[in-house]
Chains A and B, each alone.
Chain A
């Protein structure tokens, strides 16, 4: 018995660490939905949810329970197996990406060398859930939504990949921990300064990749009802919801890791605010929340793009900017204008 336990111990330890990542993540997802409704409410001079618990603090729990106990309707003439598996296929990659994210210098589940590539390949898998949901539903609105989402995600993946190539060139590594350590030395050493156009390209394509406003034509309530998940109810809808918000958090975390110094303090080098006073995880979480807030801000501020405008922005503006800046980075590295 003891020998078996000893043999399985690494596995149990990994599962424990996975729970330590996923449980807070789901909590953040739940409260991000509340934050979204509150922030957008305040921006539009409303109060937002304020009835369940003090200031609506229990609203996500009430929503979760409601979705859990709702009937899951499967449309007739739908492809049943694919219909059920599609929400799972969109949630799994969103959670898998967290395996390589370093929260602080020590807290990382899998410190693999090809971390950035792993994240990119998992992000590219997310489109299958949406595509299959749209097809298996056997509904024209769902199919339109899936087609739109698919074309949009493939187009913006390219811009996103090129933006990340800039980071790889400057840091010389695909390991996320090494990328963050390259930015040590205070706010002026963060990659966002030499790579500012790349950061803009990354952030715009990240919003498009997660199908959020102003690029949410895949859901487009005013045109195609609710897009790819129009036929989903109950837990199926909840899983798509979870995947969308988990994706939002991961792309925010990536922006922080690659352009804003990850867990590093912005005041490094100042004696008064030396990094030891505030643990790295607090800086990391604060920066991620800043990006999540910008998501909500955009949604409350910007109108939805038209479909051809999205394609134009992706192919004719973002990709040329990213490719052009790669050449400039190459020159900067060659002439030693930035440290590598």
Chain B
């Protein structure tokens, strides 16, 4: 009889492979994004089972919760037909086969160890894996980490710089300060009528 843990592992591994296949085989872009979401969730579950609960939950929080939502947002706005154009499909199969061959070559060339865990060096850190991760990122690799953050900041600013064209002429938007300074006298006037009785 299988252990409960093992059953859970097989469910999520099978789910991961199936959804990864669905990402590339389905012709509907929205389904493709959803399959990728499901792949992320399955991968996160596998990481949590390995004891890396911080990484697993951060994967769901950042990738599934934020990045993929924006992906879905964009894909939903696109014209669905234009994505499945014939000219794209013509190159897809040779490219995929080439990439698969290259990856297989890499695996064969480096003689990938059967158990990744056994080949890893003994951990230098004590404590929970969250603490180890924190010491690693903000200790040993702090320069690289900050550099990556800086590159992301540059990317963000340049994206804003590319899309922001300044105030357009004829914009009817009211400045927020003017909105806040409105008093009831500007909007309402009380009229007095002569008493009818």
Contacts and interface: CB of A to CB of B under 8 A. Distances in A.
Interface of A: 7, 11, 79, 82, 112-114, 117-118, 120-125, 127-128, 131-132, 135, 143, 147, 150-151, 154, 157, 174, 308, 312
A135 B61 contact: no
A118 B57 contact: yes
Q: Which one of A117, A123, A147, A312 has the greatest number of beta carbons of chain B within 10 Å?
A: A117
Given A11-B4, A121-B61, A312-B176, A127 B53 contact: no
Interface of B: 1, 4, 30, 34, 37, 53-54, 57-58, 60-61, 64-66, 69-70, 72-73, 76, 128, 130, 173, 176
14 contacts: A79-B30, A112-B53, A121-B60, A121-B65, A124-B66, A125-B60, A127-B69, A131-B72, A131-B76, A135-B76, A143-B76, A150-B69, A150-B73, A151-B73
Nearest to A174: B130
Q: Which one of B1, B64, B65, B176 has the greatest number of beta carbons of chain A within 10 Å?
A: B65
Given A117-B57, A120-B61, A121-B60, A128 B37 contact: yes
A154 B70 contact: yes
A124 B61 contact: yes
B15 to A, nearest CB: 15
Nearest to B75: A135
A147 B73 CA distance: 7
A303 to B, nearest CB: 14
Given A113-B128, A117-B57, A121-B64, 19 more contacts: A7-B1, A11-B4, A117-B54, A117-B61, A118-B57, A120-B61, A121-B60, A121-B61, A123-B65, A124-B65, A124-B66, A127-B65, A127-B69, A131-B76, A132-B34, A135-B30, A143-B76, A157-B66, A174-B130
Contacts of A125: 60, 64-65
Contact of B57 (A82, A121, A135, A308): A121
Contacts of A312: 176
Given A131-B72, A135-B30, A157 B65 contact: yes
A312 B176 CA distance: 10
Contacts of B66: 124, 154, 157
B69 A114 contact: no
Contacts of A135: 30, 76
A7 B7 CA distance: 14
Contact of B60 (A11, A124, A308): A124
A132 B64 CA distance: 14
Contacts of B69: 124, 127-128, 131, 150, 154
A128 B72 CA distance: 9
Nearest to B73: A150
A113 B127 CA distance: 13
A121 B54 CA distance: 11
A267 B70 CA distance: 46
B156 to A, nearest CB: 13
A90 to B, nearest CB: 13
A234 B12 CA distance: 33
Nearest to B76: A135
Top 9 A-B residue pairs of the complex, sorted by shortest distance between their CB atoms: A124-B65, A121-B61, A121-B60, A117-B57, A121-B57, A114-B53, A135-B76, A114-B57, A120-B61
B18 to A, nearest CB: 16
Contacts of B61: 117, 120-121, 124
Contacts of B37: 128
Contacts of A124: 60-61, 64-66, 69
B130 to A, nearest CB: 7
A124 B58 CA distance: 11
Contacts of B76: 131, 135, 143
Nearest to A147: B73
Contacts of A151: 73
B112 to A, nearest CB: 31
Contacts of B58: 117, 121
Q: Which one of A112, A118, A124, A131 has the greatest number of beta carbons of chain B within 10 Å?
A: A124
Contacts of B130: 113-114, 174
A177 B1 CA distance: 36
Contacts of A127: 65, 69
Contacts of A131: 69, 72-73, 76
B76 to A, nearest CB: 5
B49 to A, nearest CB: 13
B3 to A, nearest CB: 10
A79 B29 CA distance: 13
Q: Which one of A79, A122, A127, A174 has the greatest number of beta carbons of chain B within 10 Å?
A: A127
Contacts of B53: 112-114, 117
A135 B34 CA distance: 13
A131 B176 CA distance: 30
A127 B65 CA distance: 8
Contacts of A7: 1
Nearest to B60: A121
